[in-house]
Chain A
Amino acid sequence: MKTKLPVVKIVPKIRDATIKISEKTIVKTEQANEFLVGVADFFLFLARTIRETFSRNFEFKEFLRQCHQIGFKSLPLISITGAIMGLVLTIQTRPILDGFGAVSLLPSMVAISLVREIGPVITALICAGKVGSGIGAELGSMKVTEQIDAMEVSSTNPMRFLVVTRVLAATLMIPILVLYADAMGIMGSWLGVNIKGEVSFVLFISQAFSVFELIDFLPAVVKTFFFGAVIGLVGSYKGYTAGRGTESVGVAANSAVVLASLLVIIVDMIAVQITDMLI
């Protein structure tokens, strides 16, 4: 009896541990499963959006309204952040270039970093916050209060009316906002240069674009279209698939921002890799 005791004690322990592990595995598997279902769902949503984009009956009026909403209404925010971006970048870069005795390169250096990377990414991230959450919250609340259902029974395709218009508007407006932010950034940079010593605006601009090439510009513009599409799509997806109850609206808006920001960074990484390979 005495020799058997440790075994008797150990067996239930092992059994409990096994049960615990398998329970945890089940939870993990379920989570992984949920994640995969989510990813599949998102791509289905993307496919549906693309299909509806190329169908007849484009909702032009709603598209214009969204362009106004996404583009025009973001201008004040983008103006301020763009200008500050240029200013700060200039002030931060100057001492480094000073060390090499290359302050004359300051304008072109700032212009290139602005146009190639900082302008597009910062603007896209700000828009992921403003536009992504706006779309997520709007569509989410429309979903929760049955407005999307009401559209559907009024023989209106809500994917076409709500989603396609917003995704296209974002795809078109974000690049414009980025170009605008770049311009504001360069203005801000001129201001930064002028803090120490006078430089005329014309001279500054000619210095800034002296080493500038199309290859600095083109890939940066192309990727902003993808940023826009990602922001519009993620916002719409999160709003459109919101759950029931008012708290889902907040969840939709919040997760739209998180996912859109993450995807913007990932798309940027991919874009940089591709550009690097092509050049």
Chain B
Amino acid sequence: MEQINNISNVQMDDSKTVVEIKNLRKSFGKQEVLKDVTLQLYKGENLVVLGKSGSGKSVLIKCIVRLLDPDYGSIKVLGDDVSFIKRNELSKLRMKIGFLFQSGALYDSMTVKENLEFPLRRIKKKMTQKLMDEKIAEVLENVGLLDALHKMPSQLSGGMRKRISLARTIIVDPQIMLYDEPTTGLDPVTSDEISLLINQVQKKYKTSSIIITHDIECARATADRLVMLHEGEVYKDGNIGDYENSDDPFIKSFFKG
């Protein structure tokens, strides 16, 4: 507990909070997925979110970009309350946020190159074709898939799709990154590379990130702080040491091995 308090004290400064979630509640019909979630993401921090399958982790980050509307509570992103801003302001805010979908969500009807160009054309409107091509080559190199440039998504393996989709997310240099299970379904070597890439993105562009993962190796490699969701609430908030030394059987079951 002491360590948690220390972290909080150092980073409680309001100007350093990029995402602030207060008392978030979200249900689908009778199913209450998030009951009361209060959570901050501080500037420059990698925050790992842990939780069982179906605990509402994806729902949580979808609420942040307002793909889902919360039932109750407030979400402030870079100072703006996402529930109350106008559509064009929301659109501007979304330009600053990168979202890696759990399923990848590559556009099936477009080649890898067109997939990567899509956000560039819409977010960095003034970019020349030459600069775009350079940027595309750079991110593809980062995910180790330069030769996939002209392939269709259907020709890629699951892991390759995930990496292309990661490339598409980081291509616009977002200030906030939301990664939904970036390493699930990848082999250990590639997983390590992705973890490394997440850290590089954090250092190079000073991004603040929320990383949802089940992969403890990835969590160890990337996390500055970890939050565990359980039964619709924040179950534990702390750094990796707190979790590994915890006596709580539920947390232990996550970290065994």
Chain A residues with CB under 8 Å of chain B are: 138, 141-142, 145-147, 149-157
Chain B residues with CB under 8 Å of chain A are: 62, 65, 67, 91-92, 94-95, 97, 99, 101-109, 118-119, 122-123
Nearest residue (CB) in B for A244 is B28
Provide the residues of chain B in CB contact with A151, threshold 8 Å: 107
- CB distance B103 to A145 under 8 Å? yes
- CB distance A155 to B108 under 8 Å? no
Alpha-carbon distance between A155 and B101 when the two chains are bound, in angstroms:
15
A155: min CB distance to chain B, Å: 5
Looking at A150, A152, A157, which has the most chain B CB atoms within 10 Å of its CB? A150
Nearest residue (CB) in B for A146 is B105
- CB distance B107 to A147 under 8 Å? yes
B61: min CB distance to chain A, Å: 10
- CB distance B122 to A156 under 8 Å? yes
B165: min CB distance to chain A, Å: 8
B210: min CB distance to chain A, Å: 14
A167: min CB distance to chain B, Å: 18
Given contacts A138-B109, A156-B122, 12 further A-B contacts (CB under 8 A): A145-B103, A145-B104, A147-B105, A147-B106, A147-B107, A149-B62, A149-B67, A149-B105, A153-B67, A153-B99, A154-B119, A157-B91
- CB distance B118 to A154 under 8 Å? yes
B40: min CB distance to chain A, Å: 21
Provide the residues of chain B in CB contact with A146, threshold 8 Å: 101-103, 105
- CB distance A155 to B123 under 8 Å? yes
Alpha-carbon distance between A116 and B103 when the two chains are bound, in angstroms:
49
Which of A152, A155, A157 makes the CB contact (< 8 A) with B67?
Answer: A152
- CB distance A145 to B122 under 8 Å? no
Alpha-carbon distance between A151 and B173 when the two chains are bound, in angstroms:
17
Provide 15 A-B residue pairs closer than 8 Å at the C-beta atoms, listed in order of the A residue: A142-B107, A142-B108, A145-B103, A146-B102, A146-B103, A146-B105, A147-B107, A149-B105, A153-B65, A153-B94, A153-B97, A154-B94, A154-B122, A155-B122, A156-B118
Alpha-carbon distance between A109 and B97 when the two chains are bound, in angstroms:
64
Nearest residue (CB) in B for A152 is B67
Looking at A142, A152, A154, which has the most chain B CB atoms within 10 Å of its CB? A154
Alpha-carbon distance between A155 and B121 when the two chains are bound, in angstroms:
10
Nearest residue (CB) in A for B115 is A150
Provide the residues of chain B in CB contact with A152, threshold 8 Å: 67, 94
A96: min CB distance to chain B, Å: 49
Which of B91, B97, B107 makes the CB contact (< 8 A) with A150?
Answer: B107
Alpha-carbon distance between A156 and B125 when the two chains are bound, in angstroms:
12
Nearest residue (CB) in B for A69 is B109
Contacts A149-B67, A150-B99 given; does A155 touch B94 at CB 8 Å: yes
Which of B104, B109, B123 makes the CB contact (< 8 A) with A154?
Answer: B123
Provide the residues of chain A in CB contact with B104, threshold 8 Å: 145
Provide the residues of chain B in CB contact with A154, threshold 8 Å: 94, 118-119, 122-123
Alpha-carbon distance between A138 and B67 when the two chains are bound, in angstroms:
20
B47: min CB distance to chain A, Å: 19
Contacts A154-B123, A155-B91 given; does A149 touch B108 at CB 8 Å: no
Provide the residues of chain A in CB contact with B107, threshold 8 Å: 142, 147, 150-151
Alpha-carbon distance between A147 and B105 when the two chains are bound, in angstroms:
5
Provide the residues of chain A in CB contact with B62, threshold 8 Å: 149
Provide the residues of chain A in CB contact with B106, threshold 8 Å: 147
Alpha-carbon distance between A146 and B91 when the two chains are bound, in angstroms:
18
Provide the residues of chain B in CB contact with A155, threshold 8 Å: 91-92, 94-95, 122-123
